[in-house]
Amino acid sequence: MNAPAATAIVWFRDDLRLSDHAALIAARDAGATLICLYVLDDTETGKHGPRSLGAAAQWWLANSLRALDTDLKKLGQHLVLRRGDAHEVLPKLTREANAKAVFWIDSEVPAEAARARDVAEALKEIGVEVHVSASDLLASPQSIRNKEGHGLRVFTPFWKRVRAQGEPPRPLPAIRKLPPPVVSLKSENLEDWQLEPTRPDWAGGFRETWTPGEAGGHKRLHDFLDGAIKDYAEGRDFPSRDHASHLSPHLRFGEISPRQVFHAARFAAERHPALSRDIEKFLSELGWREFCRHLLFDHPDLHRRNLQSSFDDFPWRRDAKALRAWQQGRTGYPIVDAGMRELWHTGAMQNRIRMVTASFLVKHLLLDWRDGEKWFWDTLVDADPGSNPGNWQWVAGCGADAAPYFRIFNPILQGEKFDPDGAYVARWVPELSKLPPALIHKPWEATPMELAAAGVTLGKTYPEPIVDHKDARERALAAYRKTRR
């Protein structure tokens, strides 16, 4: 008579998928009966201080967990939900289930890695085996070091080093069958976690825009490589053309892995050589995400501390009214306001517009980049612990591979260049939609007759600019020059 199979737990983290999931495959191949677990560990005040998810990311997480549970049920499994300190939850659950092993995928995010180390120690103390699969980054941070043993701070040599390592391993196949759980464990109710807004329900635009989950991620990838990738290298800068991949939130929650994206893109390039330039540009954007994760590996406090210490005494202003106007898309600069309103409605923003809105906050308003980073952390569905602070520091000039301090985006010229027909502004700032393209990015230059014909009253239906571009630019340059000295 065969002995009953041992029970193992697969701890899902930021890897909410069934394909290319090394831990799930390893647990299945070990012949164990499985318990699939997700722990909402939002103990931000704990030993390692990981950041709690912002409101937009919480919405995404709730829907991603539902999708994963649905996919598991098709295989005869289900997702067990527990909330609390993972250091306490995992040992307790192994006792409940009499589990002999726990499997998970490693994370290079310092707070998550530290948390997992604590969990591993606690499990080993009670005789539970721990099996940790390598993270799904394209390259391990430990493999990209300079002569002093530090990570690289400039993107181009970083990406060359990553590519010189050769292609990342091919993705593992999707799981087609799993053994059913032998032990029936109580799962917490997802609705009790209150991750989604109710009063008011501000997520209507999110539901219109996104389909969280592994299937949604793969559909996005397929549709992108089958269409929007054409002319991506140039078209990605034009917000109304929609050449974006829209993969970032799926990558953020591990519904699709970086190496799945990498190999799908490389396969597309082989099939369609004419797209190779566009695909290489797209891969470099995947590389930038990797770069920011590597920065975070070396600098766990990336969202709080300037990478360049010379900025520690930068004369940031405190202006709650200006910050609120920026957050609400009421700065009087149409391209900036369009971006901030799109962010609020959809939980995302096109890359060029992210740069323009961020530059406006730190250089036109001279407000601390950390104020902007916090707002994006709360309002982006793809708020990533590496990319979000890494990009904000880049714009502010205090980060790695930072934009030169004298690079100050002119929001008027940015609008005229990348939204020449005004379609993007007209969509998100509808009170200006009847202005002609020549005026929609600078309504203050319209004559009273032109404003009246468009139904615009500056200062009432649409705000006057909260700062003069020329004056703001000179103020920012003076502050930056002082800091450099």
Q: What average pLDDT does the structure give for the chain?
A: 94
Q: Is residue 308 within 8 Å of 440, Cβ to Cβ?
A: no
Structure tokens at 5: 């199979």
The question of whether 193 is a catalytic residue gets the answer no
Tell me which of 193, 202, 316, 344 is the catalytic residue: 316
pLDDT value of position 1 = 34
**pLDDT score of 44:** 55
What pLDDT is attached to residue 46?
Answer: 42
Q: Range with the lowest mean pLDDT among 228-232, 399-403, 421-425? A: 399-403
Q: What is the pLDDT of residue 302?
A: 96
Residues marked as binding for FAD? 232, 282, 382-384
Whether 159 is catalytic is: no
Residue 407 pLDDT level (bands cut at 50, 70, 90): confident
- Answer yes or no: 146 catalytic: no
The token pair that represents 331 in the structure block: 């700065």
What confidence tens digit (pLDDT) does each residue in 63-87 have? 999 999 999 999 999 999 999 999 9
Cβ atoms 251, 264 nearer than 8 A: no
Q: Convert the pLDDT of each residue in 98-156 to its tens digit.
A: 999 999 999 999 999 999 999 999 999 999 999 999 999 999 999 999 999 999 999 99
* Amino acid 401: pLDDT: 81
Q: What is the pLDDT of residues 29-52, one digit of tens each?
A: 998 899 999 999 986 544 445 689
Of 98, 87, 83, 84, the residue nearest 35 (C-alpha): 98
Q: What is the pLDDT of residue 362?
A: 97
Q: What is the rounded average pLDDT of the residues 198-207?
A: 94
| Set 104, 288, 326, 394: catalytic member | 288
Amino acid identity, position 273? P
432-443 pLDDT per residue, tens: 999 999 999 999
- Whether the bond into 200 is cis, omega within 30 of 0: yes
Q: Determine which one of 88, 285, 431, 450 is catalytic.
A: 285
Domains of the chain: 7-135 (3.40.50.620), 137-170+214-298 (1.25.40.80), 309-484 (1.10.579.10)
Identify whether the C-beta of residue 422 lies closer than 8 Å to the C-beta of residue 441: yes
High-pLDDT (> 70) share of the chain, %: 97
Catalytic residue selected from 351, 410, 416, 450: 351
How confident is the model at residue 5, as a pLDDT?
63
* Contact present, 463 and 330 (Cβ < 8 Å): yes
- Residues within the annotated binding site? 232, 282, 382-384
pLDDT at residue 18 greater than cutoff 60: yes
Model pLDDT for residues 271-302, shown as the tens digit of each residue = 999 999 999 999 999 999 999 999 999 999 99
Of 151, 118, 144, which Cα lies nearest the Cα of 46?
Answer: 118
How many other β-carbons are positioned within 10 Å of the β-carbon of residue 88?
A: 16
Place of tokens 């920011």: 292
% residues pLDDT > 90 (the chain): 90
pLDDT at position 49 is: 52
The question of whether 288 is a catalytic residue gets the answer yes
CA dihedral 344, 371, 382, 209 (to 10 degrees): 10
- Per-residue pLDDT band for 402 (boundaries 50, 70, 90) equals confident
Q: Active-site residue among 60, 375, 392, 428?
A: 392
- Please say if 351 is a catalytic residue: yes
> What is the mean pLDDT of the segment spanning 250-263?
98
Selecting among 369, 377, 394, 428, the annotated active-site residue is: 369
